[in-house]
């Protein structure tokens, strides 16, 4: 007689920094899944509140043998996710921010797809989600695309939440083939990581359901830092890494160039607004590199030339007027 195949183990990795009021709810949403074979790994990223005490208290109760608490010095969300991934024992990996929630059928819905014969070559299954302060007012996020290339084009464009952190369920053996989350990035780390992963995917599946909730609240999100200058600089680094990933994958072409340029335009105006002179000059070199290959984007060259000749206001004033007009035209 042959024994039945054991159901796959799912590792839910939750980084947390000063989230004692929210992290326990995130853990409960993972434990309440209709899929039973789950381990939850909470990585306390050097919290200074009572996160450790709150989690340890729950570990004495029904969390026992189901949840592990790992402690580390404060290094950021990416480092915490890497710590959790290294300690995971699951066949599949679910990343979950400590202020977000999984709906009870998330894992079982995506496992059913990934374990089906038709999805044997797929490295992950993504899905829709909701975002908002309450479920009553929450809006749908994430997008459905039918190939890794379509996902990548959307992710590097100005569309947001194309593949939010909690959306995909990943095969662990695929994740281990790539380097982990980029720990030097304090903003744009999810974009950089998921672009790097998707660029290596042979196929991606999608669950046509809303399976998680990104809760909007006044507490600062783990992936965001204070200070516009730091966020913009991190965004520049993230975009540079994304560009090199697309090129290494042999995907860079005119459609990627167009999508990329639309995003860089916003970053450029943010740099000009803060008058970060050294950063502006450095960024313009990168901007020109993108603008010249594979097609020559004449308007980008003219815009940068005008900035050099006449100063940043010749660019900023029309941009700000454009934003005012757009706001007035919005319904």
Per residue in 159-213, pLDDT (tens digit) is 788 999 999 999 999 999 999 999 998 889 999 999 999 999 999 999 999 999 9
Which pTM was predicted? 0.91
Residue 254 CA, distance from chain mean position: 25
Buried b (16+ CB within 10 A) or exposed e, 106-135: bbebbbebbeeeebeebbbbbbbbbbeeee
CA dist 20 and 277 (Å) reads: 40
Task: Label the pairing between strands 67-72 and 38-45.
Answer: parallel
What is the average pLDDT score of the chain? Answer: 91
Burial of 10 (0-12, 13-18, 19+ CB in 10 A): buried
What is the arithmetic mean of pLDDT over 300-321?
Answer: 91
Could you state, in order of their start, the residue ranges of all structural domains in the chain?
10-215, 228-329
Per residue in 68-102, pLDDT (tens digit) is 999 999 999 999 999 999 999 999 999 999 999 99
CA dist 173 and 203 (Å) reads: 15
Tell me: pLDDT of 289 over 50.
Answer: yes
CA dist 100 and 166 (Å) reads: 8
Per-residue pLDDT at 220: 54
Beta bridge partners of 307: none
Query: Between the CA of residue 38 and those of 110, 179, 306, what are the distances in Å?
Result: 14, 24, 57
CB atoms within 10 A of CB 225: 14
Query: Between the CA of residue 238 and those of 59, 179, 191, 228, 267, what are the distances in Å?
Result: 37, 15, 8, 15, 11
Q: What fold, for 10-215?
A: Spore Coat Polysaccharide Biosynthesis Protein SpsA; Chain A (3.90.550)
Per residue in 229-273, pLDDT (tens digit) is 888 899 999 999 999 999 999 999 999 999 999 889 889 999 999
Task: Label the pairing between strands 38-45 and 10-16.
Answer: parallel
Residue 299's nearest CA partner among 261, 247, 263 is 261
Q: What secondary structure, in 3-state letters, does the chain show?
A: CCCCCCCCCEEEEEEECCCCCCHHHHHHHHHCCCCCCEEEEEEEECCCCCHHHHHHHHHCCCCCCCEEEEEECCCCHHHHHHHHHHHCCCCEEEECCCCEEECCCHHHHHHHHHCCHHHCCCCEEEEEEEEECCCCCCEEECCCCCCHHHHHHHHCCCCCCCCCCCCCEEEHHHHCCCCCCCCCCCCCHHHHHHHHHHCCCCCEEEEEEEEEEEECCCCCCCCCCCCHHHHHHHHHHHHHHHHHHHHHCCCCCHHHHHHHHHHHHHHHHHHHHHCCHHHHHHHHHHHHHHHCCCCCCHHHHHHHHHHHHHCCHHHHHHHHHHHHHHHHHCC
Q: How many CA atoms lie within 13 A of 276 on its CB side?
A: 18
Per residue in 201-232, pLDDT (tens digit) is 999 999 999 999 999 877 654 444 344 788 88
Per-residue pLDDT at 259: 92
């Amino acid at each position: 007689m042959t024994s039945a195949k054991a159901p796959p183990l799912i590792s839910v990795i939750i980084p947390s920094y000063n989230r004692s009021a929210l992290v326990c709810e995130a853990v409960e949403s993972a434990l309440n899944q209709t899929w039973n074979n789950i381990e939850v790994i909470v990585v306390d990223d050097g919290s200074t509140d009572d996160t450790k005490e709150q989690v340890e208290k729950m570990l004495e109760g029904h969390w026992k043998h189901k949840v592990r608490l790992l402690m580390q010095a404060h290094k950021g969300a990416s480092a915490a996710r890497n710590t959790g991934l290294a300690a995971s024992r699951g066949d599949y990996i679910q990343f979950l921010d400590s202020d977000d929630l999984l709906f009870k059928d998330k894992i079982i819905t995506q496992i059913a797809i990934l374990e089906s014969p038709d999805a044997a070559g797929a490295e992950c299954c993504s899905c829709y989600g909701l975002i908002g302060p309450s479920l009553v007012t929450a809006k749908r996020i994430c997008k459905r695309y039918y190939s890794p290339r379509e996902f990548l084009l959307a992710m590097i464009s100005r569309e947001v939440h194309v593949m939010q952190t909690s959306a995909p369920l990943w095969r662990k053996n695929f994740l281990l083939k790539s380097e982990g989350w980029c720990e030097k990035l304090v903003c744009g780390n999810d974009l950089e990581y998921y672009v790097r992963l998707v660029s290596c995917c042979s196929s991606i599946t999608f669950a046509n359901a809303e399976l998680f909730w990104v809760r909007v609240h006044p507490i600062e999100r783990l992936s965001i830092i204070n200070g516009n200058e730091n966020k913009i600089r991190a965004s520049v680094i993230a975009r540079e890494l994304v560009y090199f990933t697309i090129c290494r994958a042999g995907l860079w072409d005119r459609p990627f160039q167009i999508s990329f340029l639309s995003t860089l335009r916003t970053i450029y105006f943010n740099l000009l607004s803060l008058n970060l002179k050294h950063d502006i000059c450095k960024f313009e070199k990168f901007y020109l590199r993108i603008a010249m290959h594979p097609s020559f984007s004449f308007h980008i060259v003219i815009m940068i030339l005008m900035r050099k000749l006449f100063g940043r206001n010749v660019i900023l004033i029309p941009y700000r007027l454009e934003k005012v007009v757009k706001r007035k035209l919005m319904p």
